[in-house]
């Protein structure tokens, strides 16, 4: 092998390694983003869902009774 062939092969190997590194970094970033998306948790939405689930167990009459009861409470009783 002459010097020119050695230089060309070396340049190709460096480009190959750089290309693989870029692909690897891209894949790591994608996986990190997916993991972060899974970890995000909307507490307000979760509370709304829990409250809605609880309300499904009540009849319309029971809900109205709860509303009437909360309206009739004396504000002095609350802490």
Please write the tens of the pLDDT for every residue from 10-65: 999 999 999 999 999 999 999 888 877 766 667 888 888 888 888 888 888 888 88
**Residue 63 located in a structural domain:** yes
**Residue 50 located in a structural domain:** yes
Give the range of the structural domain holding residue 58, as residue numbers without chain letter: 42-71
pTM of structure: 0.41
8-state DSSP, 36: H
Q: Which of 40, 37, 56 is nearest to 48 (CA)?
A: 56
The maximal CA–CA distance of the chain, rounded, in angstroms, is 97
8-state DSSP, 58: S
**Residue 24 located in a structural domain:** no
**Residue 13 located in a structural domain:** no
**Residue 7 located in a structural domain:** no
Rounded to whole angstroms, the Cα distance separating 37 from 34 reads 5
How many domains are contained in the chain? 1
Higher pLDDT, 76 or 30: 30
Give residue 66's pLDDT: 84
Rounded to whole angstroms, the Cα distance separating 30 from 36 reads 10
- Rounded to an integer, the average pLDDT of 66-75 is 79
Give residue 42's pLDDT: 75
């Amino acid at each position: 092998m002459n010097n020119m062939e050695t230089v060309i092969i070396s340049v190709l190997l460096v480009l190959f390694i750089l290309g693989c590194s870029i692909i690897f970094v891209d894949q790591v970033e994608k996986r990190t983003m997916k993991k972060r998306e899974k970890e995000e948790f909307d507490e307000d939405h979760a509370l709304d869902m829990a409250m809605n689930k609880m309300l499904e167990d009540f009849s319309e009459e029971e809900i109205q009774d709860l509303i009437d009861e909360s309206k009739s409470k004396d504000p002095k009783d609350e802490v």
